[in-house]
Amino acid sequence: MNDPKKRILLIEDDAELVHAIRLRLEANNLEVLSAVDGNEGLQKVHQERPDLIILDIRLPKMDGFKVCRMIKYDEDFKEIPVIILTARVRQSDVDMGKEVGADAYMTKPFKNEELLQKIDELLAARV
């Protein structure tokens, strides 16, 4: 029996990075949805109910911290794992990521294998 593909929502405004991550995830049998700003990202969370969210911090319209907080404080969506994937490496940013409820905090540049491993780990924990 074929399991339905897990759906990953990628909220990232860098089109090249979206393309690169999409190729990698789709090669690993994951469906990828994307949004280019915080508002669109939140809309897609509500419309699509993804299995996992990969979220940048520096986004147009609404930053990733606020998007994560709004997802994690919403009873209907708080169980969706969120991976913050950002170039921001300061400890204060990592702490803020935890504070807003992110399930993982990864920094760019990143290794594809590490991202895939974290996705698998978080999806397995949801079963």
Enumerate the domain spans of the chain: 6-126
pLDDT at residue 1 in the model: 41
State how far the Cα of 39 lies from the Cα of 62, in Å rounded to an integer. Answer: 6
Strand, coil or helix: 9: strand
pLDDT tens per residue across span 19-74: 999 999 999 999 999 999 999 999 999 999 999 999 999 999 999 999 999 999 99
Instruction: Supply 57's token pair.
Output: 């911090």
pLDDT tens per residue across span 82-94: 999 999 999 999 9
pLDDT at 2 over 60: no
Question: Following CA atoms 116, 117, 118, 122 in sequence, which dihedral angle do they give, to the nearest 10 degrees?
Answer: 100
State how far the Cα of 27 lies from the Cα of 49, in Å rounded to an integer. Answer: 22
Please, what CATH class does the domain formed by 6-126 belong to?
alpha beta
Residue with tokens 């969370």: 45
